[in-house]
Amino acid sequence: MKLKKKKSKRTSAKKKSYLLISPMGIVSILLTCLPIIYSFYVSMTEYNLTIPNSFQSIIGLKNYVEALQDKDFLNAVLTTLKIGAPALFFEIILGFGFALILNRKFKGRGLVLALMVTPFMIAPGAAALAWRLLFDSRYGPINHILSQIAGKNIVIDWLGAPNIAFKSLTIIDIWQTTPFVMLIILAGLSSISSDVYEAAKVDGASRFQIFRDITLPLVRPILGVAVLFRTIDIIKMFDMCHALTKGGPAGTTTTLSYYIYKQGLAYSRVGYGAALSFITLLVVSALVAIYISRTMKGGSA
Amino acid sequence: MNRRIQINHKKIFGTIGWYLLIAVILIITLFPIYWVIGTSFKYQRDFMASPPVYFPKEFTLDHYITAFKMWNTWPYILNSVIISLLATVLIVLLSVPAAYSISKYRVGGAKLQAWLIFQRMLPPVVVIIPIYLIFSKLNLLDTYIGMALPYLIFNIPFAIMMLIGFFSDIPPSLQEAAMIDGCTEIQAMRKVVLPLILPGIVVVILFCFVFVWNDMLIALSLSRQNTQTIILLVAASMQQLTGTYFGMAAAMASFAIIPIFIITLVMQKHLVRGMTMGGVKG
């Protein structure tokens, strides 16, 4: 009798828990699973929004074969790396430096951190305009400041020159995302107890030794998280390209996300765009799998 | 005695140097934002000056007025507010019960957690093509609800993970005590848990609002004339932008920046948690 009651209580709790989560589950299925499955189907067709009935022409993996031979697609991948890799490098170095500087208690720390993070919080689309003004070759302060430093007139076409524009996007990304990397590293640093440092100091360790042998190993897992987050972020990079450079000049700032958008929606080749996005999905899934296996094991980050 | 003074000197200079360093970092970080907001208040002779005017002596509201009158900025701002609020309300309504269920009953376990992370990390460009096709069949393009729904994909997992963190801060004994006192689970939830979780919900609301407000790709893909957001207007204003329009474009960008700037300052304490989806406590 008692046992039965307990059991029914447990099943009712189970029912309740499923009832509470089901609306979110349904939304998840409708808005995520269904579109991904549908996208896979579309990627097997020659679907083009401007060609009637192209939806029905199933061509199998032909879009995927085209993607692998598409030089512009390869270029978009390379551009994404060319913008993202140096950005990530400097973000880690600078983020670590800033975190070490800010890793102490002082008045107004919360405010300083919040102000530092604003570049990461405001819309990239609006930040794009800020940088458009800063980079302006006639009225922009960046050329002016550089001229002052160099002592001669410097006119750099930051957004119009094909060998410079992608570097400008790297600079903007460093400005935007260093604070994010800093905050993550700072969270890692503050989790190290001060006893460890004290003990090392008593043992006569130098500052550099403390950094190399204590700080770095303890922060490393969280650094891995930051790198993974950022890698996926770089794959998502879109707003700056659309607002600031339109992927130009001469396609030198067309990133992966922007290329897929252009093929799929701007040029109406949805079948091909879906194939490109599916390839991207596979790459991202692999990265997420690495992240998940790490966090589930470590549990902390 | 002498030595002691020396040490103090070193310390004082160290501290001053440290403050200077922070000031320099802050100035570089905030300069682009200062520049765009500053330009929105400058007279044309100041923003079209060479060398540039760093500290204008006079300010004007003209660009805001022309932004409203000539470029009809108001509907874009309204669209941004409506879409962001609509999406945020839906996110919270779906996430709070789900997060409660996960943190109390461990529904779904590790698999569900993994799925949520996956859904959170998904690049929008991966789902935007099928969503565009489906929404055009359902006549959801260029509607508020159609614009709000795709944001649920990335923000519900975010909200759930944040809320699980906040739920786990509440000792379970509190709710149990309420239930021993004769409350039903729903009553206990409403009277004990919900008030305690409310600040957490506010943080989630603010973050989701920021994420939706800032988006460009989804808004660009799914809107036509009726539901364009302020971000799209700023992006459009940048096509073939000439010097004379700098002030007005800056005014429109300031509308997109200033609310988010304020929210960021309000949320100081929760930034780390939010940026890492509740994974790292700040």
Residues A92 and A59 occupy one common structural domain? no
Q: Residue A300: pLDDT band by 50, 70, 90 thresholds?
A: very low
CB-based contact (8 Å) between A127 and chain B?
A: yes
**Comparing A206 with A22, which gets the higher pLDDT?**
A22
Distance CA B213, CA B225 (A): 18
Residues A127 and A49 occupy one common structural domain? no
Chain-chain contact of B232 with A225 (C-beta, under 8 angstroms): no
CATH superfamily of the domain spanning B70-233+266-275: MetI-like (1.10.3720.10)
Chain-chain contact of B216 with A183 (C-beta, under 8 angstroms): no
Closest by Cβ to A38, choosing from B48, B97, B134 = B134
Total domains in the fold of chain A:
2
**Smallest CA–CA distance from A297 into chain B, residue:** B110
Q: How many CA atoms lie within 13 A of A188 on its CB side?
A: 25
CATH number, position A156: 1.10.3720.10
pLDDT for A294:
79
Instruction: Supply the DSSP string of B112-126, one letter for each residue.
Output: HHHHHHHHHH--HHH
Q: Choose, out of B84, B104, B129, B164, the residue to mutate when testing the contact with A (most A CBs < 10 Å).
A: B129
**Residues of chain A contacting residue B52, judged by C-beta atoms under 8 Å apart:** 139-141, 144
Q: Is residue A28 part of a domain?
A: no
H helical segments located in A29-70: 34-43, 62-69
* Residue owning tokens 């509470």: A20
Residues A151 and A286 occupy one common structural domain? no
Lowest mean pLDDT among A220-229, B34-43, B104-113, B168-177: B168-177
Tens-place pLDDT, residues A95-117: 999 998 988 888 888 899 999 99
The parent domain of residue A297 ranges over 35-69+269-301
DSSP bridge pairs for A58 = A45
Q: Choose, out of B125, B154, B216, the residue to mutate when testing the contact with A (most A CBs < 10 Å).
A: B125
Q: Residue B109: pLDDT band by 50, 70, 90 thresholds?
A: confident
Summarize the confidence of residues A207-213 as an average pLDDT: 84
Lowest mean pLDDT among A37-41, A197-201, A265-269, B259-263: A197-201
Tens-place pLDDT, residues B50-93: 889 899 999 999 999 998 888 889 999 999 999 999 999 999 99
Q: Is residue A157 part of a domain?
A: yes
pLDDT, chain B, mean = 88
Tens-place pLDDT, residues B184-201: 777 877 788 888 889 889
Contacts of B209 (CB under 8 A, 6+ apart): B84, B85, B88, B263
Closest by Cβ to B125, choosing from A128, A136, A238 = A238
pLDDT for A104:
83
* Residue owning tokens 């401007």: A50
Summarize the confidence of residues A11-26 as an average pLDDT: 87
Q: Is the pLDDT of residue B182 over 90?
A: no
**Smallest CA–CA distance from A280 into chain B, residue:** B126
Chain-chain contact of A113 with B268 (C-beta, under 8 angstroms): yes
Q: How many CB atoms lie within 10 A of CB A191?
A: 14
Closest by Cβ to A277, choosing from B94, B129, B267 = B129
